[in-house]
Amino acid sequence: MDVLVVVGAVDLPQRLAARARHLTHVDDGEATPSLIVELRSRIPREVGVIGAGAEAKKLAIALHRAGLPVTLHTDDEMHIDGIDVVPITDRGAPMAVAQSLLDLVGNTPLVRLDVVGRDLGCHLLAKLEFLNPGGSVKDRPALAMIDAAERQGLLGPGGTIVEPTSGNTGVGLAIVAARRRYRCIFVMPDKVASEKISLLRAYGAEVVVCPTTVAPEHPDSYYSVSDRLAREIPGAYKPNQYQNQDNPLSHELSTGPEIWQQTAGRITHFVAGVGTGGTITGVARYLKAQNPAIQIIGADPEGSVYSGGTGRPYLVEGIGEDFWPGTYDPSVIDRVVAVSDRDSFLTARRVTREEGILVGGSAGTAVWVALHIGRDLQPSDVVVVLIPDSGRGYLSKLYDEKWLADFGFLRAIGHTVGDVLGRKGGRIPELIHVHPDELVRDAISLLREFEISQVPVVKAELPLSAAEVVGAVHDRGLMERAFHDPTILDRPVGESMDPALPAIGIGEPVSLAVERLEASPAILVLDAGHPVGVLTRSDVLNFLAQTGTT
Ligand SMILES: Cc1ncc(COP(=O)(O)O)c(C=O)c1O
């Protein structure tokens, strides 16, 4: 149907609204000239009319007389020459069918993790949030935030949704936007898996990618860019999942009650990763209201603020923060446990292989915590761990052996990069580095002091994360620059640095180090995502001379 004219206040059936290309609301059955002009301008093949009783009929007849092809939607029996009369109510037997995908959000199942939890005495149950129609726990707050914005008049027909999101909230919002005809723009950091970006674009959303390495208040940060877009685009609405109380509320009204009912009120411990904190806060509020003794435990990447970190980068996606969002309520959380990237990734892979449940990295973080606390629990204890999303979005990361090896999470058979590094002076030497604000003159002294030719430039202190390495300086590059412009010696390293050294995992074979050193004079060694040393051609030659083997 090209246009549906709604007469007066009627309960518009979803099926009709969905099938109309345009909706027009009028107060009564008067076919005003402006209405006829508007309808004719659309050159319609079908104009639907729906409304209460006589007024709708009057309008249908008037529009028909004006030469428009009219269909009247009514449950009243009637025949009008030249007008199709179609019943609103489907008279057949009711079918088991949802009105739209949005009606399928929530009501996810619980499943036992008995294989992974074989050593625990307690019940270990997983809440499978990846079975939501958009593939993650974020469908719940996304739908709730948009429903609330529409109710409050903050978002309306032709509007645009703008949100900074690392992917899953974006999918939730994109599903709602597609069904309700909103434009969608998502702003996200560059560490997000490329599959997630393609996924959002597949739903018709626009994606803006920003650097991860800048502070949240920086104008290029993904938080700042989304604020600017929301200000500049007319009719734009930013749900702001980090402050919007409909985010935790959606879990208080759905996820929490579902878990309580599914466990027959027997739940004793709830474990979830913390991103915005919406999930854990909302679920905690509901569960604690039923039984204040239920323990609420957050699972957090090492480095994130929730478990006492300073917001240093880590590799797990979707959880942990470098600031305190308004959607996290620490008063309802009993404990937060920090988990390394290695433990998160290896646990996610275990769940996938041992249970046949393909889960994302943040599920690995949560299950690791559940296994950790479960060791001290009794047979009557019931632990529920929330699985936020599936591993489908991470096939090129934690499920890719090459990616894991490059970050130093896997160890090859035979001599490895770690063995070469270990031979440098008998033990793994501390990583020599400079900061971007140090003077070039001081970087040169450092190169001379340690008799090295290059040094990584890093923006934090040891132990570092890979994302904190911002570049490198080489004696050759500095010499050339200083020859042309001697003033650079008293300027910061950040202005004269080259791109970062190529990286290699600590467990990768020596043969790969040889290959990488053909293209670069030095390589940066990563151990479980942390830079631990630099290898040069002479380091590898010394190693080969000492061991006589690769
Ligand atoms: C993969 C993944 N896990 C966990 C979470 C955490 O959920 P919440 O923001 O409700 O704390 C998110 C949130 O974006 C996520 O994307």
Q: Hey, which residues does 272 pair with through a beta bridge?
A: 298
Q: List pLDDT tens digits, range 253-290.
A: 999 999 999 999 999 999 999 999 999 999 999 999 99
511 has a pLDDT exceeding 70: yes
If one residue of 127, 128, 136, 222 were mutated to test the ligand 1 pocket, choosing by the most ligand atoms within 8 A of its CB, it would be: 136
Q: Average pLDDT, stretch 233-250? A: 96
Is the pLDDT at 376 greater than 70, yes or no?
A: yes
- Mutation choice for ligand 1 from 130, 132, 138, 297, CB with most ligand atoms inside 8 A: 138
How far, in Å, from the CA of 293 to the mean position of ligand 1? 25
Sorting pLDDT into bands at 50, 70 and 90, what band is 13?
confident
Q: Which residue, judged by its Cα, is nearest atom 2 of ligand 1?
A: 318
Question: What mean pLDDT comes out for the span 301-305?
Answer: 94
Q: What is the best residue among 362, 367, 368, 387 to mutate for testing ligand 1's pocket, by most ligand atoms within 8 Å of CB? A: 362
Give the pLDDT of residue 252.
Answer: 98
Q: What are the tokens at 167?
A: 């992917």
Residue 549: per-residue pLDDT: 60
- Residue bearing the CA closest to ligand 1, atom 14: 318
Nearest CA to ligand 1 atom 7: 275
What is the rounded distance in angstroms from the CA atom of residue 360 to the CA atom of residue 317? 9
- 279 CA to centre of ligand 1 in angstroms: 8
**The pLDDT value given to residue 425:** 65
Tokens matching residue 60: 């249908």
Compute, in angstroms, the gap from residue 276 CA to the centroid of ligand 1.
Answer: 7
| Closest atom of ligand 1 to CA, residue 278 | 10
Q: Is the pLDDT of residue 320 over 80?
A: yes
- What pLDDT score does 131 carry? 98
Atom of ligand 1 nearest to the CA of 274: 11
Structure confidence at residue 430 (pLDDT): 79
Tell me what the mean pLDDT of segment 101-106 comes to.
97
Ligand 1 geometric centre to CA of 318 (Å): 5
Name the residues annotated as catalytic: 138
Nearest atom in ligand 1 to 241's CA: 9
Q: 429 falls in which pLDDT band (50, 70, 90)?
A: low
**Centroid of ligand 1 to alpha carbon of 204 (angstroms):** 22
Mean pLDDT of 66-79: 92
Taking the C-alpha atoms of residue 523 and residue 515, their distance in angstroms, rounded to an integer, is: 11
What is the model's pLDDT at position 98? 94
Least confident among 221-230, 334-343, 354-363, 501-510: 221-230
pLDDT digits (tens, 9 = 90+) for 465-497: 998 999 999 998 888 898 999 999 999 999 999
Poorest-pLDDT segment among 121-135, 213-227, 281-295? 213-227
CA 275 to ligand 1: nearest atom: 11
Q: Name the packing angle between helices 440-449 and 475-484 (round to 10°).
A: 140
0.75 exceeded by pTM: yes
- The pLDDT score that the predictor gives to residue 109 is 98
pLDDT in tens, 20-33: 999 899 998 888 99
Q: Is the dihedral of CA 392, 507, 313, 386 positive or negative?
A: positive
Instruction: Return the ligand 1 atom nearest residue 276 CA.
Output: 9
Nearest C-alpha to atom 12 of ligand 1 is from which residue? 318
- Kindly list the protein residues whose Cβ atom lies closer than 6 A to any atom of ligand 1: 137-138, 166, 168-169, 273-280, 317-319, 360, 362, 388-389
The closest-lying atom of ligand 1 relative to the alpha carbon of residue 360 is 1
Report the chain's C-alpha Rg in angstroms: 30
Query: Counting atoms of ligand 1 from 1, which one is nearest the CA of 167?
Result: 16
**387 CA → ligand 1 middle, Å:** 10
**Nearest CA, atom 16, ligand 1:** 318
**pLDDT reading at 427 higher than 70:** no
Cα 100 to ligand 1 centroid, rounded to whole Å? 24
Paired with 531 in beta bridges are 526
Q: What pLDDT, on a 0 to 100 scale, did the predictor assign at position 461? A: 87
Per-chain mean pLDDT for the chain: 93
Q: Is the confidence at residue 67, as pLDDT, over 80?
A: yes
- 218, HSE (Cβ side, Cα atoms, 13 Å): 11
* Segment 165-191, tens digit of pLDDT: 868 999 999 999 999 999 999 998 887
What average pLDDT does range 74-80 have in this prediction? 90
Q: Residues of the chain with pLDDT > 70: what percent?
A: 98
* Protein residue with its CA nearest to atom 6 in ligand 1: 275
The preferred substitution site among 145, 169, 279 for testing ligand 1, maximizing ligand atoms within 8 Å of CB, is 279
The closest residue, in CA terms, to atom 15 on ligand 1 is 318
DSSP string, 34-74: HHHHHHHHT--S-EEEEESHHHHHHHHHHHHHTT--EEEE-
Evaluated on CA atoms 281, 287, 288, 290, the torsion sign reads: positive
Distance (Å) from CA 167 to ligand 1 centroid:
10
DSSP code for 429: P
Cα 389 to ligand 1 centre (Å): 8
3 state DSSP class of 548 = coil
Is the previous residue joined to 463 through a cis bond, with omega within 30 degrees of 0? yes
Bridge-based pairing of strands 123-128 and 110-112 is antiparallel
User: Residue 141, Cβ neighbours under 10 Å: how many?
Assistant: 30
pLDDT of residue 12: 86
